[in-house]
């Protein structure tokens, strides 16, 4: 149930704290006794001891909106959503920029690109969505909130530096989320680059490249010279075709908040990845404790959109409040929106009041 500390895991697993810490080190996680371990790491750890770790199902919540069931016939192909992961300074941001630059068409190039948390590229007539928030932290934070947004993980490993602790963490997180990994061996332009050493190291972590008889796709790239970028995009398309990604575009929208902030002039601004259904201007929406009507939608090129089908990242205006990254956004009929938002708001207030009461009682007792 949620994150647990190393100490709690030690008593739950019936193992010494030192044993837990050692195992965590092997997994590339440096942890102290009171450190919180997320559910994914805990389940990997559990499997090391032959224990299955299960997350408790969330308690029944009257403020939740029931999910719409989509019939198999209603499902149509949708573009893949990709997250870039890897060790710090291995080139995640550079690679995102290189992919973006090499795939804007001439007329788009003049437009002002905006950072809305994700962007779409067109490669050989096919769309691919990239989440702009690199790193496994954003990924895990979203997963912890129940949001599954990624179809493919690109693991960036610098050819001159090799597999590092955060590389291993990224591998573990992608595996726990059951997301296929494509390895991009970056910085191959550097004189110190040693891609063979990277391949060797990856094999030690269970990623055996195709060239060596395994099933991991490894693409050598350079974010600086742009070498290998098209091959990488081709491999993403290949892997996502195998996944047979589909969604029903003809229903009320369902998506995830990628990021959100309060804009002085425009009010609450939320970047949403639409995952099911189509979001339209004028739709009544609810996200966390915020609700409203879609007043405007803008893509990463600053273009205004009237509708956003599945796998479209859009910036949405019109919410009453700033939702949190990882919150689910749904389009609903207006009365549902109000009722649910009020219930959620009331729940938030009760939670806050309980918090205050607890503190003041504690204060009281400490004075006796
Ligand atoms: P991040 O921390 O993973 O996002 O890494 P960055 O994209 O910020 O890159 C870290 C450093 O590596 C920067 O100085 C980049 O200019 C450099 N870098 C990234 N990709 C390449 C590459 O393909 N070749 C070379 N030579 N340098 C690179
Ligand atoms: Mg970066």
HEC readout, the chain: CCCEEHHHHHHHHCCCHHHHHHHHHHCCCCCCCCCEECHHHHHHHHHHCCCCCCCCCCCCCCCCCCCCCCCHHHCEECCCEEEEEECCCCCHHHHHHHHHHHCCCHHHHCCCCCCCCEEEEEECCEEEEEECCCCHHHHHHHHHCCCCCCCEEEEEEECCCCCCHHHHHHHHHHHHCCCCEEEEEECCCCCCCCHHHHHHHHHHCCCCEHHHCCCEEEEECCCCCCCCHHHHHHHHHHHHHHHCCEECCCCECEEEEEEEEEECCCEEEEEEEEEECEEECCCEEEECCEEEEEEEEECCCCCEECEECCCEEEEEEEECCCCCCCCEEEEECHHHHHHHHHHHHHHHHHHHHHHHHHHHHHHHHHHC
pLDDT the model gives residue 215: 92
Q: Is the CB of 187 under 6 A from ligand 1?
A: yes
Instruction: Calculate how far, in angstroms, residue 178's C-alpha sits from the geometric centre of ligand 1.
Output: 27
Instruction: Calculate how far, in angstroms, residue 91's C-alpha sits from the geometric centre of ligand 1.
Output: 4
Tokens of residue 90, six digits = 């291995």
pLDDT the model gives residue 106: 44
Residue 57 assigned ligand-binding role: no
Instruction: Calculate how far, in angstroms, residue 165's C-alpha sits from the geometric centre of ligand 1.
Output: 17
pLDDT the model gives residue 134: 54
Average pLDDT over residues 233-253: 96
Q: Which residue puts its alpha carbon closest to atom 25 of ligand 1?
A: 187
Residue 149 has pLDDT above 60, yes or no: yes
Residue 326 has pLDDT above 50, yes or no: yes
Average pLDDT over residues 84-111: 78
Q: Is the CB of 88 under 6 A from ligand 1?
A: yes
Q: Is the CB of 313 under 6 A from ligand 1?
A: no
Average pLDDT over residues 137-158: 79
- φ/ψ (deg, to 5) at 258: -85, -45
pLDDT the model gives residue 107: 46
Atom of ligand 1 nearest to the CA of 87: 3
Tell me the per-residue pLDDT of 269-323, one tens digit each, with 9 for 90 and over: 999 999 999 999 999 999 988 889 999 999 988 899 999 999 999 999 999 999 9
Residue 213 assigned ligand-binding role: no
Inter-helix orientation angle 229-243/92-102, to 10°: 90
Instruction: Calculate how far, in angstroms, residue 89's C-alpha sits from the geometric centre of ligand 1.
Output: 6
Average pLDDT over residues 3-29: 85
Residue 115 has pLDDT above 60, yes or no: yes
Q: Which pLDDT band, with edges at 50, 70 and 90, does 65 fall under?
A: confident
pLDDT the model gives residue 329: 93
Q: Which pLDDT band, with edges at 50, 70 and 90, does 216 fall under?
A: very high
d(CA 267, CA 316): 11
Q: Is the CB of 160 under 6 A from ligand 1?
A: no
Q: Which residue has the higher pLDDT, 3 or 152?
A: 152
% of the chain surpassing 70 pLDDT: 86
pLDDT the model gives residue 365: 57
Q: Is the CB of 70 under 6 A from ligand 1?
A: no
Average pLDDT over residues 8-22: 87
Tokens of residue 293, six digits = 């009507």
Minimum mean pLDDT range among 19-28, 64-73, 106-115, 151-160: 106-115
Q: Which residue has the higher pLDDT, 117 or 203?
A: 203
Residue 86 assigned ligand-binding role: yes
Q: Which pLDDT band, with edges at 50, 70 and 90, does 144 fall under?
A: low
ipTM for this prediction: 0.99
CA 90 and chain centroid, separation: 19
Residue 37 has pLDDT above 90, yes or no: no
């Amino acid at each position: 149930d949620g994150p647990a500390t190393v100490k709690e895991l030690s008593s739950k697993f019936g193992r010494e704290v030192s044993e837990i810490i050692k195992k965590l080190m092997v997994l590339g996680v440096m942890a102290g006794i009171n450190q919180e371990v997320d559910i994914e790491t805990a389940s990997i750890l559990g499997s090391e001891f032959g224990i299955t770790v299960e997350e408790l199902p969330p308690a029944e919540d009257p403020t939740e909106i029931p999910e719409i069931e989509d019939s198999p016939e209603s499902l149509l192909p949708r573009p893949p959503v990709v997250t870039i992961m890897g060790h710090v300074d291995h080139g995640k941001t550079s690679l995102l920029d290189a992919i973006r630059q090499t795939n804007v068409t001439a007329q788009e190039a003049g437009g002002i690109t905006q950072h809305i948390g994700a962007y779409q590229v067109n490669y050989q007539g096919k769309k691919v969505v990239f989440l702009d928030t690199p790193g496994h932290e954003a990924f895990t934070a979203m997963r912890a909130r129940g949001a599954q947004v990624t179809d493919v993980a690109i693991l960036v490993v610098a050819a001159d530096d090799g597999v590092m602790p955060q590389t291993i963490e990224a591998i573990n997180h992608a595996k726990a989320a059951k997301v296929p990994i494509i390895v991009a061996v970056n910085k191959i332009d550097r004189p110190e680059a040693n891609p063979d050493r990277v391949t060797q190291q990856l094999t030690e972590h269970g990623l055996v490249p195709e060239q060596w008889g395994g099933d991991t796709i490894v693409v050598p790239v350079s974010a600086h010279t742009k070498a290998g970028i098209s091959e990488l995009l081709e491999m993403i398309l290949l892997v996502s075709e195998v996944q047979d990604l589909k969604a029903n575009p003809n229903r009320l929208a369902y998506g995830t908040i990628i990021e959100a902030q309060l804009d002085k002039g425009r009010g609450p601004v939320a970047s949403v990845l639409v995952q099911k259904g189509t979001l339209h201007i004028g739709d009544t929406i609810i996200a966390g404790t915020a609700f409203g009507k879609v007043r405007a939608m803008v893509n990463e090129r600053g273009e205004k959109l009237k509708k956003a089908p599945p796998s479209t990242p859009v910036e949405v205006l019109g919410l009453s409040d700033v939702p949190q990254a990882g919150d689910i956004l749904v389009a609903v009929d207006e009365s549902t929106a109000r009722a649910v938002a009020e219930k959620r708001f009331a729940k938030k207030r009760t939670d806050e009041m309980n918090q205050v009461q607890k503190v003041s009682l504690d204060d009281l007792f400490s004075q006796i």
